[in-house]
């Protein structure tokens, strides 16, 4: 079934009775060419690109809960390509280009909105760093513009520019950055993969990974054994547990990251805005809620909810940046489980076990990576070779020290990112 304006009109006039389920809720088969563990954004996009780019359709996506019920449904929906370091820079650039063609490609409205993202700076030193980052972004071929205070005041009149502690000196604008409807991204990829023959199997928890002679042969699940020639582990915050089934220890510590949404308001925040003097970023959803988040709670956690000190910290940062936010009522808050690596950058690589591939370590930046990650992961699984834009996401960079990508410049060590 294809979506079109005509179709929406016809369904609207006929009581919306003609819509069908968007994907098959498949039963597990006995054997597949590729089994993907994890039915989140990255797992579903990997399945889609395996089918579309490589013609590999004898694929199952195994999800222990429901499709898109993990981090892809729990994030702040920001899409951008403003990374500094080689390795990250080309990857997120590629991912943003995929975003720009995604709706036409999937024939699915993911509500991708390139409303622009502004990263603020608050001192001369931060301005220098922002200019340097902006130049790196432009060298990669993406867009970045330096805005001074008068320019900022035109588009962000509600910020507190003159405050004594964190005066705003300017910002870097990326016009092609923005937001997307996070659930729709999972649903769109699920539909595209299912239409091409991929089995999407929900409520199917992997309990073991079968390895014979150094090669993966299948998985054990809560719904029986499934044989597989290749297995891709794409489970974000649960990476350590699934990798342990294959006898692996990963350079990952799982942390909780909280996010918040207010009651629905009339349009007021037209862009994505990031505070430069505290971890705080905000945008407004199409329903009108102000969606914002801050930093990790900064201790290992699987609780999917955080503690109050960080809630207070995020609210303080919001008040410091835009005092008007104090009038809005917070509707709810939630947490996602972040797979944090020592250097803050991800892993798309062989596991060292034949036919077993890893995609993890997205830290708190996985949503915007969904298209690029799936594309590069599918390439790796299909061809056994790294895909150009993701070629530096190696697992062995921690052991060798070569190719570490520490965007924050704080060191390659757990608890620093």
Instruction: Tell me which residues touch other proteins (CB under 8 A).
Output: 238, 240-241, 249-254, 298-303, 307, 309, 342, 398-399, 413-415
Nearer to other proteins, 16 or 413 (CB): 413
Nearer to other proteins, 161 or 398 (CB): 398
User: Is the Cβ–Cβ distance between 290 and 325 less than 8 Å?
Assistant: yes
Nearer to other proteins, 284 or 341 (CB): 341
Region for 197 from its dihedrals, namely left if φ exceeds 0, alpha if ψ lies in -120 to 50, beta otherwise = left
Nearer to other proteins, 186 or 296 (CB): 296
Nearer to other proteins, 113 or 307 (CB): 307
CA distance 272 to 255: 24
Q: How far is the CB of 301 from other proteins (least distance, A)?
A: 5
Strand partners, 211: 216
Q: How far is the CB of 251 from other proteins (least distance, A)?
A: 4
Region for 198 from its dihedrals, namely left if φ exceeds 0, alpha if ψ lies in -120 to 50, beta otherwise = beta
Query: Which two structure tokens, joined as six digits, stand for 274?
Result: 């990031």
Q: How far is the CB of 345 from other proteins (least distance, A)?
A: 13
Q: Using CA atoms in the order 282, 286, 288, 292, what is the torsion angle rounded to 10 degrees?
A: -20
Q: How far is the CB of 165 from other proteins (least distance, A)?
A: 20
Q: How far is the CB of 60 from other proteins (least distance, A)?
A: 24
User: Is the Cβ–Cβ distance between 22 and 189 less than 8 Å?
Assistant: no
Q: How far is the CB of 338 from other proteins (least distance, A)?
A: 12
DSSP string, 329-344: PEEEEEEEEEEE-SSS
CA distance 96 to 408: 21
DSSP string, 390-401: GTT--TTHHHH-
**β-bridge pairing 117-121 and 356-360:** unpaired
Nearer to other proteins, 81 or 252 (CB): 252
């Amino acid at each position: 079934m294809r979506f079109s304006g005509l179709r929406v009109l016809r369904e609207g006039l006929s009581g919306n009775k003609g819509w069908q389920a968007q994907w098959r809720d498949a039963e597990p088969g006995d054997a597949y060419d590729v089994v993907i563990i994890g039915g989140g954004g990255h797992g579903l996009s990997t399945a889609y690109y395996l089918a579309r780019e490589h013609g590999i359709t004898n694929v199952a996506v195994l999800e222990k809960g429901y499709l898109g019920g993990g981090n892809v449904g729990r994030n702040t929906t920001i899409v951008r390509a403003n990374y500094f370091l080689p390795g990250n820079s080309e990857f997120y650039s590629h991912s943003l280009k995929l975003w720009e063609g995604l709706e036409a490609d999937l024939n699915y409205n993911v509500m991708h909105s390139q409303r622009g993202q502004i990263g603020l700076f608050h001192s001369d030193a931060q301005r220098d760093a922002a200019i340097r980052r902006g130049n790196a972004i432009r060298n990669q071929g993406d867009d970045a513009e330096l805005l001074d205070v008068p320019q900022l005041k035109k588009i962000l009149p509600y910020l507190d520019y003159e405050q004594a502690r964190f005066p705003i000196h300017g910002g870097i604008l990326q016009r092609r950055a923005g937001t997307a409807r996070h659930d729709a991204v999972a649903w769109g990829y699920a539909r595209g993969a299912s239409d091409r023959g991929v089995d999407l199997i929900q409520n199917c928890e992997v309990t073991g990974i079968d390895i014979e002679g150094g090669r993966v042969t299948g998985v054990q699940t809560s719904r029986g054994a499934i044989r597989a020639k290749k297995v891709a582990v794409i489970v974000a915050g649960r990476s350590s547990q699934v990798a342990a089934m294959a006898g692996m220890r990963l350079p990952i510590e799982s942390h909780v990251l909280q996010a918040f949404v207010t009651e629905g308001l009339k349009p007021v925040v037209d862009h994505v805005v990031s505070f430069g003097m505290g971890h705080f970023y905000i945008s407004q959803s199409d329903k009108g809620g102000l969606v914002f988040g801050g930093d990790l709670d900064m201790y290992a956690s699987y609780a999917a909810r955080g503690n109050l000190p960080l809630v207070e910290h995020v609210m303080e940062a919001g008040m410091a940046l835009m005092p008007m936010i104090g009038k809005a009522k917070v509707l709810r808050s939630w947490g996602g489980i972040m797979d944090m690596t020592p250097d803050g950058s991800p892993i798309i690589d062989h596991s060292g076990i034949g036919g077993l591939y890893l995609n993890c370590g997205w830290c708190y930046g996985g949503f915007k990576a969904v298209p690029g990650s799936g594309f590069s992961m599918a390439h790796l699984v299909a061809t056994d070779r790294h895909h150009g834009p993701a070629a530096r996401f190696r697992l062995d960079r921690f052991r060798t020290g070569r190719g570490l990508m520490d965007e924050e410049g704080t060191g390659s060590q757990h608890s620093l990112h």
